[in-house]
Amino acid sequence: MAILEIKKYPEKVLKQKALPVTTFDQELQALIDNMIETMYAAPGVGLAAPQVGETKRLAVIDISSRDEKHPLIVIVNPVIVRCEGEVEFEEGCLSLPEYTAVVKRAENVVVKAQDRDGKEIAIQGEDLLAIALQHEIDHLDGILLIDRISPIKREFFKKRYKKIQKLNQ
């Protein structure tokens, strides 16, 4: 297994819509394992394939450090089929280091997907799991955390981010 490079804003791959996974082979299994290792090393509670430069509809989520009843989840080709309620939550993102924002999300979701072997699964998520599922599926659709905030906050973020980039050169 290997720790992969996490792509950072404004890399183009983060804004691309990921393509469906059609082949569940050893290459995919290796990518899943590497993504899991990368997520834990970061550390994070979720990681989508575009965040490691792969335009595949694949994500891994593990919120067990905050909610023990939810172990590691691998979702391939996920689709949100039901949303209920609304909640505001302060989110962070591995592709936007050291940045958090309060985002409105559905409080409960049902996601249909495939597991790492291609078997159909349905996941009912509430609270943190619902937020993590929506966040990672956003990545698969080319949507970043900053796309979910107001235009004024987004412009402020971009200006601040450019200043940080110049300081780090």
Tokens 């780090």 locate to: 168
* DSSP 8-state assignment for residue 16: S
Collapsing DSSP states into helix, strand and coil, what is residue 90?
Answer: strand
Secondary structure (DSSP) of 70-117: ---EEEEEEEEEEEE--EEEEEEETTEEEEEEEEEE-SEEEEEEE-TT
Among 58, 63, 108, smallest CA distance to 87 is for 108
DSSP label of 126 = E
Active site residue 136: yes
The one catalytic residue in 5, 11, 84, 136 is 136
Nearest partner of 64 among 132, 18, 135, 3, judged by Cα: 132
- State the catalytic residues: 136
